[in-house]
Amino acid sequence: MQKIFVALLLLSTLAITSCSEKKDGESGSIDARVKELVSKMTIEEKAGQMTQVTIDVLTVGKSPFESDEPLKLDTATLRLAFEKYQIGSVLNTANNRARNPELWNSLIGEIQAYALEKSRLKIPVIYGLDMIHGASYVEGATLFPQQIGMAATWNPALIERAGEITAYETRAIGCPWTFSPVLDLGMDPRWPRQWETFGEDPLLASEMGVALIAGLQGKDNNMSDPNRIASCMKHFLGYSQTVSGKDRTPALLSMNALREYHLPSFKKAIDAGAATIMINSGEINGLPVHASKYLLTDLLKNELGFKGFVVSDWQDIEYLHLRHKVAASHKEAVKLAINAGVDMSMVPYNFDFPGYVVELVKEGEIPESRIDDAVSRILKVKLMLGLFETPITTRNNYPEFASENFAADARRTSLESITLLKNQNNILPLPADAKILVAGPAADNMRPLLGGWSYSWQGNLVNEFTTAYPTIFKAIRNISANQDAVKLAEVVKYAAEGDYRTEIKEDNSAFISLARQSDYIVLCLGENTYTETPGNASDLDLSENQKELVKMAASSGKPVIMVLVQGRPRLINDTEPLASAVLNAYLPGNYGGEAIARVLFGETNPSGKLPYTYPRFAYNTEPYFHKHTEALTNAGAPEGTTFNPQYPFGFGLSYTTFEYTDLTLDKVEYSATETLKVSVKVKNSSGRAGMEVVQIFVSDHFASLTPPVKRLRAFTKLMLQPGETQTVQFEIPAADLAFVNHENQTILEKGDFTISAANLKKDFKITEDKILKTGH
């Protein structure tokens, strides 16, 4: 604590000096302050601002990859980092594990104090962490469902609140910047980061992304508010749709497809004021995105008007040389990336980058104007965050950290994410006093409930930090009216160490015996935690051990309820018929066990909807907005069609029934500048209150480029009491029905369209062709 006090005292003095200098010599305008600072900086100082290293580089340890415990900053390395190289940013957590708020305050406070003491111009460091679903690298913080579960709520207000709480608890440790949200589309279930996305649809991803950014930065983007932090949209652009489905592998994507599907979520976030952006680690059509001047400068900065700064992903500038082989040396890689438009290099293990930048500028290989632009963008964000005035914020000023109020919001988000996919003969909800056998690898294990980026990169430390939270089994037992009647026999367990796919199969005799005594069997299945390249998969099936467990449970003759705890949708076509009910829990967070139990017993009425198409087969993974040629009649295919998902996008059952009537449009013909005014009546036709997501889709009958079968164009979530009817209204600009052609023109073509809500449809016409925008 003494170190914290000393660091804060020094920071306070330096901040006062900084403020005094601002009043004496700088205007109140952030842009003017940036311009003046840049004019005073040497090329070495500028290159330092563009440099980001991981904290393990700055600690006492055997190497830059490992820190000694307990953590201690290395004075000699700090001097090198901030006196010689004047680096502008630090990221990550040491030894890949969460830390308590007090230790974070000490570490970040000491770093900030040392950086300001050595900085000639008193420029603070910006510290960044992957606070992905809450302050996920902080012991005791409030963690929410992962983004895929957030998307399943279809409730942007909940996601904005999650952003607010994440920002508050992140500032409590002294960190002003998170590498979130992920705005890539989760279109391919093979991809190991699908669960980090808001699903496969551009509109859903856009709305959820904007909501999360509003929570993180504030709706007015007043990031100097000590309760707000800077967001970082990622990973621009096309990262998620690789040819192989594996992480960081090549993509082959046309520019009109990139613009039509992958760009909208980023454009909406940029328009909302997102402060920073991280780049796709892969390549598109043979060119690494980190080396693409067209994507990073022409499109992102010039066409879209992005004013924040661009940060590379982990070591990705070096990888232009080491992996992609488009640069013959690290120095050439730096030249390619900076000239392409990267502003800050997540180096992260050495101080070579700033030296290369200085050399390349002096050699005329990088224009100093490009460096000035990069540094101006970085300084602007630091000023917007108020770091010059308040370099560090501390836990003692954040009394709501880990509060019960925050926990209530996380619980609600988890509850609204749970998606009921099957409920044969209304087997759910379960009787309160039912005899229940709980089994499977996710039954009594917190780790699969949280996923990666939870207390560590791969999520392998979850159980160390979550002893206060109930697993699914414990939550079911806690809620049951007959706790002694809730039994556990896992049969299959996830290995605590090693590859996430490794499982341990136990003797099944206890399961067989307990199954005979039970009324219901709840199987908690899915996959263990992973992210990025370690999560690459060779197939999408449930493991053979888990399949055998389902078959054994079904053979008992007792009703089987499958609870799927998973990042990607695992194939269940051969086990789903054996289950009476199926719940998709995604990665619901620390309150996931409780949420699942409450839905099973009917304390909460499920309202989640799938944010992706749940595939039936490994070779049928098309999104819902597939083309007509991907759904041809085929006598040899199951169900008579080649597009036959297990469950469609947007699907989710409730314990309530809803009826849709009176879908209306205000007109039958629209010009390109008009707006469709849509209304539909939704009635709760049951005796129980419930929430329903109203989804509006539009289909273009014919177009000059093959149209998708339909696109989501609007949605809202509402609560209906028993017997209640609400008229739901939407306004959809006709321009939203445009598509991007091969000339990169956003064009609306005249012709026939169909709008639909549930089982209702209405036809209408667009009366004119109109080019709305021409891309570069």
Q: Cβ neighbours of residue 468 under 8 Å, at least 6 residues apart?
A: none
Residue 563, classed as helix, strand or coil, is strand
Positive or negative, the CA dihedral 51, 52, 55, 56 is negative
CA-to-CA distance for 406 and 429, rounded, in angstroms? 28
> Looking at this protein, which amino acid is placed at residue 500?
Y
CA-to-CA distance for 524 and 146, rounded, in angstroms? 18
Q: Cβ neighbours of residue 54 under 8 Å, at least 6 residues apart?
A: 64, 90, 91, 92, 348, 349
- CA of 260: how far to CAs of 377, 492, 590, 742, in Å? 28, 43, 36, 11
Residue 357, classed as helix, strand or coil, is helix
How many C-beta atoms surround the C-beta of residue 230 within 10 A? 26
Q: Give CA 699 to chain center in angstroms.
A: 28
- What are 86's two structure tokens? 């004047």
Q: Give CA 459 to chain center in angstroms.
A: 15
Integer Rg of the chain from CA: 27
Cα-Cα end-to-end distance for the chain: 55
Beta bridge partners of 712: 697
> Looking at this protein, which amino acid is placed at residue 700?
D
Burial class for 582, CB neighbours closer than 10 Å (0-12, 13-18, 19+):
buried
Give me the residue label for tokens 């700064």: 309
Q: Cβ neighbours of residue 28 under 8 Å, at least 6 residues apart?
A: none
CA-to-CA distance for 514 and 492, rounded, in angstroms? 15
> Looking at this protein, which amino acid is placed at residue 42?
T
Query: Of 56, 130, 313, 409, which residue is the catalytic one?
Result: 313
Positive or negative, the CA dihedral 37, 42, 47, 48 is negative
DSSP state of 302: I
* Length in residues, the chain: 776
Angle between helices 202-217 and 264-271 (to 10 degrees): 30
Establish whether 313 is a catalytic residue: yes
What are the catalytic residues? 313
